[in-house]
Structure 1
Amino acid sequence: MKNRKTGIWPKIRRVINEIHLWLGIASGLIIFVVCLSGTIYTFSDEIQRFLEPSRYKVNGPIGDSKLPIAQLILQLEKDNDGKVTTINIPAKPDETYQFTLLKKDEKGRGTGFSLDPYSGQVTASGEAVGSVFFMKMFRLHRWLLLDTSIGRPIVGWATVIFTLLILTGMCIWIPQKVRYWKQGLKIKFDSNWKRINHDLHNTLGFYAAFLMLVMSLTGLYWSFDWYKSGLYSIFQVEQPKGRGGRPPMAEAKKGEKVEKETSPIDIALLPWEQYLEKANERLSYPGNFRISIPEASDKSINLSKTRTGFFASAAGDKIILDKASAEILEVDIFRDKPLNERVMGSIKALHVGNVFGTFSKILYFISCLIATSLPVSGTIIWINKLRKKSKRKGAVLA
């Protein structure tokens, strides 16, 4: 039998090791910044809730009945000379309602307002505490705080390199002899600092490899349009058009006349609570509602509901109700979709880690923290090897 030390595997291993080393040196700083900012951003929502509880929690006594949603909308629009576009209604009775209002002549997504549903009092408005900082972290993570045309491809190619580093790192981790497998699964804290650093790089990298690979492969979705289109093509899912992520509207057939409404349809709007009650009959689980306020000419109401809980999925279910009767017109249950559609509908959740609620976010936070440490521990390993080579060369010359 051929000795493995003189076989082909050691030669391949050395080549992979060199590729891993130089790719890491070339992209280490960018990967460190991207992973660090991603780690900080993971629990941004939870941190903002902690910093400004009055925006999310009801301060006064919790009553038995809440004010009608229509009354809250009318009062908010009257006081701020604008139009409410969305409402987030939490499942917990002690949390505030979140409104988005587009003021007159205001551009963009609008201004956020938090209302006490029992008193109608505005508890917070505008930007949340910490939102500016976390937006900086977001831009640092996505574009390195540069112009998107420059920062986006830099982060994208650094992510490609990071993916190759994970794969080559896994190859390097595989021991040459079976009896050394256990050695690669633990850290020898009773050894010297160089060995501990080496084990931290190899062992922690191994444990976090799968989630790091998921993060990198999904992260490329926002870096390259060709990659995004390729994913939709591979999973055989129709790619949404526009920023809102809605599927493309059906085009009129050639020669077909498209009629456009010139005046709003006079359809009576039922109490919002009636729509929610009807939606809860179909989606009978604890969850948070998001209502998209329809135009006067719209004949339907669009609502989405997401589950709550430690293991709750970030994916929501959608329901469309008839505006005049509150009858259910269409239901879109995420769990009932084919696997390929669920995967493509969970790209963001798979990247940020809330695909299984707080549980998966904790796992992602730890993995992202490990990913942040890898360029540091890897650089230390490289420096130690350079010093070792230098000492050997010096001994030979002596």
Structure 2
Amino acid sequence: MAVNKKNKTFKYWVGRLHLWLGLIAGLFVCFLGITGCILAFEKEIEFYTQPYRKLETQNKPLLSPTTLKQIADKALPNKHAHSVTYQPGKSAQVVYYNFEPEYYYIVFVNQYTGAVINVKNMNEDFFRIVIMGHYYLWLPPEIGQPILTSATLIFVLLLISGLILWWPKNKAASKQRFSVKWNAKWRRVNYDFHNVFGFYITWIIIFIALTGMVMGFQWFAKSVYYVSSAGKPLTEFTETFSDTTSNSNLKLNPSAADKIWNDYLKADPNFKGSIDVHVPENEKASIEIAKNPDPDTYWKSDYRYYDQHTLKEIEVKHVFGKIKNATVADKIYRMNYDIHVGSIAGIAGKIIAFFASLIAASMPITGVLIWIGRNRKKSKAQKP
């Protein structure tokens, strides 16, 4: 039976919008949900399935960043090291990352003996491949990222319209909105699953979706920062150079990174977090050291920059600077990735993000089944 014009209420049009948006973005939402589930416990799976990442803490002095870089350079000649990472209980990681020519390697080194444990091409890594799909759909970033982020924006609209459709008309109807009638026929179970679980995950998945948009749309990231900072613009990250670059006689001073790193160790010998050292690649580059007290997240990292020639600290104005100088807006921006993957709330947060992503991936499927069922019901009703 056709819908009477008088019955075309606000909810009717919201339902039509919900249907068409779901048909447009459903496959992408399903894909993002499944890949999100795979990536939820990436760090934990890597640590327990890749033994070369583990290294028992020893009562020996650590080899310096420059020494580890020189050792790793022999394993990867003609490539430039990006950073050296130390963390108790794990092998040191010398990261090689470049855009042109494109490559991404990690050399795992014993920071006590200098032995090379493993050389890993990250472009062949399973999780890296999944990440490239989750971020870019395995397309060039300038093509894939807008597609998936636009699908995420549509998904946010689906969540809002779904909540409007879920909202009960009265108290009697509300009793059916919070539980699934598991002993009913499968079509009713499917309908309840879509509505009930869709409602429950909305309050979680909305944060995952919005943080995904922050990473995908610059205009959205700047807008979130503008609002959270009460009107201040986002100062984007820019490469920091040494203050003495005006001197044309400068030469590369790699040992400066060792001196600053050693001062860090002396200042806090019992530090249990991670220390990331960026050894300068040329005579103009500064030395960056990131000290993270909680390696399971990223937002607490304290980023410092130093002139490689004078060893003086260089003050920066972008969000990735000293954690003690970070404003509320800076911290929200820095928390974005940790919120996205659930690690902001520890292992419990990751579990919640995993199941929320799994249910989100099922929403397009259950939604299509509801749509097909209604069409069949209408066609039967129209038969003479």
TM over 0.5: yes
Question: What are the residue-to-residue correspondences of 1:212-361 with 2, within 5 Å?
Answer: 212-235=205-228, 236-241=231-236, 245-246=237-238, 259-264=246-251, 269=256, 271=259, 274-278=262-266, 280=268, 286-294=272-280, 297=283, 301-308=287-294, 314-320=299-305, 332-334=321-323, 337-361=326-350
Moved more, 206-215 or 365-374: 206-215
Question: What are the residue-to-residue correspondences of 1:145-184 with 2, within 5 Å?
Answer: 145-184=138-177
Per-residue deviation at 1:100? 2.1
Cα distance in structure 2, aligned partners of 1:248 and 1:299 = 7
Amino acid paired to 1:123: I
Partner of 2:131: 138
Moved more, 319-328 or 200-209: 319-328
Cα gap change, 1:247 to 1:84, in 2 (>3 Å) = closer
* Preserved CA contact (<8 Å) 1:275 1:326: no
The answer to whether structure 1 residue 89 and structure 2 residue 86 are counterparts is yes
Q: Secondary structure at the match of 1:85?
A: strand
Amino acid paired to 2:107: F
Cα gap change, 1:141 to 1:110, in 2 (>3 Å) = closer
Amino acid paired to 1:318: Y
Per-residue deviation at 1:381? 1.1
Cα gap change, 1:72 to 1:23, in 2 (>3 Å) = closer
* Preserved CA contact (<8 Å) 1:290 1:305: yes
Residue by residue over 1:265-288, the C-alpha shift from the partner in whole angstroms, topping out at 9 and shown as x without a partner, is 87974556622324537xx76311
* Preserved CA contact (<8 Å) 1:77 1:101: no
The answer to whether structure 1 residue 383 and structure 2 residue 372 are counterparts is yes
* Preserved CA contact (<8 Å) 2:63 2:114: no
Cα distance in structure 1, aligned partners of 2:276 and 2:196 = 43
Per-residue deviation at 1:52? 2.1
Cα gap change, 1:290 to 1:149, in 2 (>3 Å) = closer
TM-score by length of 1: 0.78
Cα distance in structure 1, aligned partners of 2:186 and 2:336 = 39
Cα distance in structure 2, aligned partners of 1:230 and 1:267 = 39
Cα gap change, 1:26 to 1:266, in 2 (>3 Å) = closer
Structure number with larger C-alpha Rg: 1
TM-score by length of 2: 0.80
Q: Secondary structure at the match of 1:126?
A: strand
Give the count of matched residue pairs: 368
* Preserved CA contact (<8 Å) 1:267 1:299: no
Moved more, 144-153 or 198-207: 144-153
Residue by residue over 1:7-29, the C-alpha shift from the partner in whole angstroms, topping out at 9 and shown as x without a partner, is x9992222212221222122212
* Preserved CA contact (<8 Å) 1:317 1:334: yes
Per-residue deviation at 1:191? 2.2
- Please, what is the CA RMSD of the aligned residues? 3.7
The answer to whether structure 1 residue 40 and structure 2 residue 38 are counterparts is yes
* Preserved CA contact (<8 Å) 1:212 1:371: yes
* Preserved CA contact (<8 Å) 2:69 2:84: no
Cα distance in structure 1, aligned partners of 2:343 and 2:60 = 32
Cα distance in structure 2, aligned partners of 1:112 and 1:179 = 59
Per-residue deviation at 1:218? 2.4
Partner of 2:3: none
Cα distance in structure 2, aligned partners of 1:328 and 1:321 = 4
Identity of paired residues, percent?
Answer: 25
Cα distance in structure 2, aligned partners of 1:148 and 1:273 = 35
Partner of 2:50: 52
* Preserved CA contact (<8 Å) 1:97 1:114: yes
